Amino acid sequence: MAIDLTKADRTLVNEIIELGGEDILKCFQCGTCVADCPAATAEMPLRIKKLIHMIHLGLRDELLEEDSVWMCVTCTACEERCPRGVKPFEVCLAIRRWQAKEDPTYIPPALGEIFKTGHTQNVANVPELRKSLGLEEVPPTVAKFPELLKKFQEMLKCSKIVQEYGFMFGVG
Amino acid sequence: MPVFKYGFFLGCNIPAIRPDVEQAIRKTMPKLGVELVDVKGSACCPAFGTYPSADEYAALAINAWNISIAEEIGVDIMVECGSCYSSLKLGRDCLLRDEEKRKKVNEMLKVAGKKFEGKSDVRHIIDVLYNDVGTEKISRSINIKLDGIKVIAHSPCHMLRPSNVLGFDNPERPYMLRELIEALGAEVPRYSREFQCCGGAGGFKRRAHIEAVEYTKKKLDAIKEETDADLIVVSCITCLLHFDEIQKELTEKGKGNYSIPVFDYNQLLALCMGFDPKEVAAISIIPRDEIIERIIKS
């Protein structure tokens, strides 16, 4: 499909910079980031170089469709090796934040889980196993101290994401 | 007398899925002069696929929540999980560099009666073992030497990169885990894909499963074809779970026989110190009984 640059959105690049992709304008499209990216081996590959180009061109609708960015392994090889200091991994996170803002169906359900229990895994759910190893039945994390979990939740209620999408967190 | 004191940050996967790794760390570190205290009330780091992918300030606030607990105790944090290490260390760096973000995050923390000051650092357990304790002391601490045992060393990506913020080892040619294993008397064979990522973190495995399995298979094939390794040692809970799960999957799918036992470094260390395998190395998918027996008898 031909790209229609008359629809280019010049504000897109600033939105991504604002969300953490601050060095995105340094990219000169060499492709080092893609060369050793595990997720670039997928059939529908993550090509962070291409996504950065899309942002430079202001291709808003196309960027919103690119769920490949959620495949990132977070190994940060791209960030280590980028000769221009673009920090492609940070750009990856910034694109995800932008997508979650534009389309809340992108917001990972794990956010609600962490809000509810403090963890991505239910650490309070394996008391027998932990006891059999000679450990405390519930580990000394926020899972063990309800009053601290409450404070943790109060803190997160100050965040934009919980304020805007309270229903995802069982709030409001 | 302990010389070092750290807040042991547990994260989510270790206490819930592999608590035997938690026990191995709790047993071994004090024997090396590293006292561990609990980071009471700590939460998820948070993992990159969660808050950092949706709301930067919420993510930084959770980083700061965790670090502030260590600050209250007056210790640095020590962590095994690669993602926890990276998330906490990158978050801390960002908060120290950016005054405006630090101010905003501290306003959120204030509601919970907490404050981030940046006094407590975040250290990976390999950093603590290699740079605080040292290989000589580790060699002297063990009762069992791994003579004739061949161990693959796999360093987690998250303890290496981005090296300018969180690095302590060589980011492209890591050697610390290798030397820590050699300190136990084992041989650490080299192979062509030694520095390849395990492929287990983030969304790759979930969203492109076939290719992700194939990616890990390449590494496992290199280990099988180029070495006669008895076991794989990692120091990251994600690498540990991934190598264990993928080997089972590959074998079940008829792609070959993949059955190399996988250990966390402190589990191997705990066995060499004579701790009970039923407490420090009790949970695995690929059976480890045979190699544990061999280690204990050597």
* pTM for the full predicted model: 0.97
Q: Is A75 on the interface with B (CB under 8 A)?
A: yes
My answer on whether B148 and B288 are in the same domain is: yes
My answer on whether B74 and B177 are in the same domain is: no
Are B243 and B198 in contact, with CB atoms under 8 Å apart? yes
Contact B10 A141 (CB under 8 A): yes
Give the CATH number of the domain where residue B53 resides. Answer: 1.20.1050.140
Give the CATH number of the domain where residue B238 resides. Answer: 3.40.50.11810
The answer as to whether B249 is a domain residue is: yes
Which amino acid belongs to residue A132? S
Of the candidates B16, B49, B280, the beta carbon closest to that of A108 is on B49
Nearest-neighbour CA in chain B from A134: distance (Å) = 7
The answer as to whether B51 is a domain residue is: yes
CA B281 to CA B292: how far, in whole Å? 9
Give the total number of structural domains in chain B: 2
My answer on whether B98 and B13 are in the same domain is: yes
Residue B199's nearest CA partner among B171, B228, B233, B241 is: B241
CA B131 to CA B138: how far, in whole Å? 12
Q: Which residues of B touch A97 (CB under 8 A)?
A: 53-56
Contact A96 B54 (CB under 8 A): yes
Contact A114 B46 (CB under 8 A): yes
CA A10 to CA A91: how far, in whole Å? 17
Q: Using H for helix, E for strand and C for coil, what is the string for B49-89? A: CCHHHCCHHHHHHHHHHHHHHHHHHCCEEEECCHHHHHHHH
By residue range, what is the domain housing residue B179? 135-297
Residue A97's nearest CA partner among A38, A22, A34 is: A22
Q: Is A87 on the interface with B (CB under 8 A)?
A: yes
State how far Cα B73 lies from the chain centre. 23
Of the candidates A75, A154, A159, the beta carbon closest to that of B57 is on A159
Nearest-neighbour CA in chain B from A18: distance (Å) = 11
Of the candidates B16, B56, B162, the beta carbon closest to that of A123 is on B16
CA A41 to CA A28: how far, in whole Å? 22
My answer on whether B142 and B274 are in the same domain is: yes
Tokens 């519930």 correspond to what residue? A138
Q: Which residues of A touch B86 (CB under 8 A)?
A: 74, 76
My answer on whether B59 and B141 are in the same domain is: no
Of the candidates B13, B83, B215, the beta carbon closest to that of A121 is on B13
Of the candidates A71, A114, A141, the beta carbon closest to that of B50 is on A114
A interface mutation test: which of B21, B53, B216 has the most A CBs within 10 A?
B53
State pLDDT tens for residues B194-219.
Answer: 999 999 999 999 999 999 999 999 99
Which amino acid belongs to residue B85? Y
My answer on whether B84 and B142 are in the same domain is: no
- Non-local (6+) Cβ contacts of B253 within 8 A are none
Angle between helices B237-252 and B82-97 (to 10 degrees): 140
Decide yes or no: CATH 3.40.50.1000 for domain A1-106: no
Is the C-alpha dihedral spanning B63, B134, B137, B80 positive or negative? Answer: positive
Q: Which residues of B touch A126 (CB under 8 A)?
A: 15-16, 19
State pLDDT tens for residues B235-267.
Answer: 999 999 999 999 999 999 999 999 999 999 999
The answer as to whether B129 is a domain residue is: no
My answer on whether B280 and B188 are in the same domain is: yes
Q: How many residues does chain A have?
A: 172
The answer as to whether B251 is a domain residue is: yes
Are B268 and B233 in contact, with CB atoms under 8 Å apart? yes
Domain boundaries, chain A: 1-106, 110-172
pLDDT tens digit at each of 298 positions of chain B:
568 999 999 999 999 999 999 999 999 999 999 999 999 999 999 999 999 999 999 999 999 999 999 999 999 999 999 999 999 999 999 999 999 999 999 999 999 999 999 999 999 999 999 999 999 999 999 999 999 999 999 999 999 999 999 999 999 999 999 999 999 999 999 999 999 999 999 999 999 999 999 999 999 999 999 999 999 999 999 999 999 999 999 999 999 999 999 999 999 999 999 999 999 999 999 999 999 999 998 8
Boundary-marking domain end, from B105, B124, B143: B124
Nearest CA in chain A to B197: A75
The answer as to whether B29 is a domain residue is: yes
